[in-house]
Structure 1
Amino acid sequence: MKLQIKGLSKTYKNGVKALDNVDLEIGTGMFGLLGPNGAGKSSLMRTISTLQSPDSGSITFGDIDVLKDQMSLRKVLGYLPQEFGVYPNMSAEKLLNYFAQLKGIASKEDRKKIIKEVLEVTNLWDVRNKSVSGYSGGMKQRFGIAQLLLNNPKLIIVDEPTAGLDPAERHRFLNVLREIGNNHTVIFSTHIVDDVRELCHELAILNGGNILYRGTPKEAEESLVGKIWMRIIERDEFDEFARNYNILSSNYNQDNTLNIRVYSDEKPHETFVEAKPQLEDVYFVALKKDRV
């Protein structure tokens, strides 16, 4: 099933234009929605999830007209928002049983079977009797995935799910998403480039409510071949280089020098060497062009 978004626009009462004529087509698999904070990612996720209405445009998922038939979409939707509520002092297994009843799974045996499945998929089976309120941040995020999988959703939306997780928790969470991404349409909204690079077959870069790029990570990187250049400079030279070159990013070396990455159609100076493009370069190039 494909998710098709056409001409989607949304302006809030305070005058902020969150979405500006957005067009997107998303199929089965992991799709990354990449953009800085305030880019419009959460507004798009909330609109797709029927939590708010757009000013104009259309959304269809398979044969469901999302804006006209919100209940049909909700039956096949799994949504993990950026912030979700405080959990009661209840074990994961008991809480999932409660959620399963709310989602209309009447049979006790059916609930038992699906709860075991989702706890195993999310690597929480061994802590099923532990109170969810005592889970770590990463475990709570994985529990969030477990509860949304209870009704076997066809469309899954996760909004900034790895923000604040430590590296080990992030790795476990991404593995869970990778597993479920094989059989579902999963939209993964984030500002973390590494998450998209590791996980997603396709992506879109969003900023200011506009789609700046749509394609695969490989295609994005190949579009910058011969245009990314690198040089090591002293820290006190940075301001001068920033004035003269289009610096995309910089990082420190152990000796306190800087590696700078520059975008240019041709070699900017004989002291630069060509660098292999990375998805982070694509992201920064798109954002810089958007500001011009």
Structure 2
Amino acid sequence: MKLVIKDLSKTYKNGVKALDSLDLEIGVGMFGLLGPNGAGKSSLMRTIATLQKPDSGSIYFGDVNVLEQQNDFRKVLGYLPQDFGVYPNMSALDLLDYFARLKGIAKNSERKEIVKRVLDVTNLYAVRSKSVSGYSGGMKQRFGIAQLLLNNPKLIIVDEPTAGLDPAERHRFLNVLREIGTNHTVIFSTHIVDDVNELCHEMAILNGGKLLARSTPKRAEEELKGLIWNKEVSREEAIEYNKELSILSSKYNQENRINIRVYSQDSLDTAGFVQVEPNLEDVYFVALKND
């Protein structure tokens, strides 16, 4: 089942154009939506999740008109917003049972089976009796995934889910998403390039509410082959190069010198640059610079 977005636009009352005639198709699997803060990612997620109406455009999931058949669509939707609140002083087991009742799962034995399954999938079964308010940030995010899996959704939306997680929690959370992404349509919205590179088969880059690029991470990197150059320079040299070249990123090394990565269709070897293999971060910065 495909999610098909056509000519979607949204301008807020303060004049900010969050979505600008956006067209996008997303199929089964992990789809990464990459963009800086303020790019329109959360606006798109909220619009797809029927939490706000666009000014114009259409969204279809299979044969369901998302904007006109909201109740039907919500039955197959799982949504984890950027800020997911939980009820204090309730165990994960009790809270999931409560959410399952709200989702219409009336039979006690069925609820028990479903709750156990989602706790297993999210690796929370061992701490099922612990209060969710006492969970770590990563555990709370995994609990968020557990609650949205209760109704076996066909489409799952997760908005900036790894922001603020430590490296170990981030990897545990990504492993959970990787597992459920094999048989669901999962839209993974983030500004963290590594998350998309590790997790997603397909991706899009968004900025200013517009679609800048749509590809697979591997294909996007291959398209930059032969166009990315690197050189170790001083801070002063970096400032001068920035005036004449398209510097994508710069990082200090242990010698307190700077490695600059440059996008150029012309050869830079005579200036001491070395051609290097492109990565997804290069793809991201090239798209933003060309916007």
**2:284 is equivalent to residue 283 of structure 1:** yes
Q: Which residue in 2 is equivalent to 1:262? A: 262
Per the TM alignment, residue 45 of structure 1 is displaced from its structure 2 partner at its CA by 0.3
Q: Which residue in 2 is equivalent to 1:217? A: 217
Deviation per CA, 1:180-208: give whole Å up to 9, x if none: 00010000000000000000000000000
Deviation per CA, 1:139-176: give whole Å up to 9, x if none: 00000000000000000000000000000000000000
Describe the SS at the equivalent of 2:89: coil
Q: Which residue in 2 is equivalent to 1:43? A: 43
> What amino acid is the match of 1:46?
R
Structure 2: gaps spanning 5 or more residues: none
Deviation per CA, 1:203-235: give whole Å up to 9, x if none: 000000000001111111011011100011123
Q: Which range moves more in the overlay, 75-84 or 243-252?
A: 243-252
Q: Which residue in 1 is equivalent to 2:207? A: 207
2:268/2:274 contact within 8 Å kept: no
**2:77 is equivalent to residue 65 of structure 1:** no
Q: Which residue in 2 is equivalent to 1:24? A: 24
1:248/1:261 contact within 8 Å kept: yes
Q: Percent identity?
A: 75
Structure 1: gaps spanning 5 or more residues: none
CA–CA separation in structure 1 for the residues paired with 2:246 and 2:133: 47
> What amino acid is the match of 1:147?
Q
Deviation per CA, 1:81-117: give whole Å up to 9, x if none: 0012242211000100000000000011101001111
CA–CA separation in structure 2 for the residues paired with 1:53 and 1:30: 25
CA–CA separation in structure 2 for the residues paired with 1:217 and 1:28: 16
Describe the SS at the equivalent of 1:281: helix
> What amino acid is the match of 1:95?
L
Per the TM alignment, residue 245 of structure 1 is displaced from its structure 2 partner at its CA by 1.4
Q: Which residue in 2 is equivalent to 1:76? A: 76
Q: Which residue in 2 is equivalent to 1:238? A: 238
Describe the SS at the equivalent of 2:13: coil
Q: Which range moves more in the overlay, 83-92 or 97-106?
A: 83-92
> What amino acid is the match of 2:50?
T
Q: Trace 1:1-292 onto structure 2 (pairs within 5 A).
A: 1-270=1-270, 271-290=272-291
Per the TM alignment, residue 269 of structure 1 is displaced from its structure 2 partner at its CA by 4.5
Per the TM alignment, residue 43 of structure 1 is displaced from its structure 2 partner at its CA by 0.4
1:31/1:187 contact within 8 Å kept: yes
> What amino acid is the match of 1:212?
L
CA–CA separation in structure 2 for the residues paired with 1:241 and 1:8: 39
Per the TM alignment, residue 242 of structure 1 is displaced from its structure 2 partner at its CA by 1.0
Per the TM alignment, residue 260 of structure 1 is displaced from its structure 2 partner at its CA by 0.7
2:88/2:132 contact within 8 Å kept: yes
Q: Which range moves more in the overlay, 111-120 or 269-278?
A: 269-278
1:245/1:268 contact within 8 Å kept: no
> What amino acid is the match of 2:213?
Y
Where does structure 1 differ by over 4 angstroms across 4 or more consecutive aligned residues? none
CA–CA separation in structure 1 for the residues paired with 2:209 and 2:219: 23
CA RMSD for the aligned pairs?
Answer: 0.7
Per the TM alignment, residue 244 of structure 1 is displaced from its structure 2 partner at its CA by 2.1
CA–CA separation in structure 2 for the residues paired with 1:161 and 1:207: 19
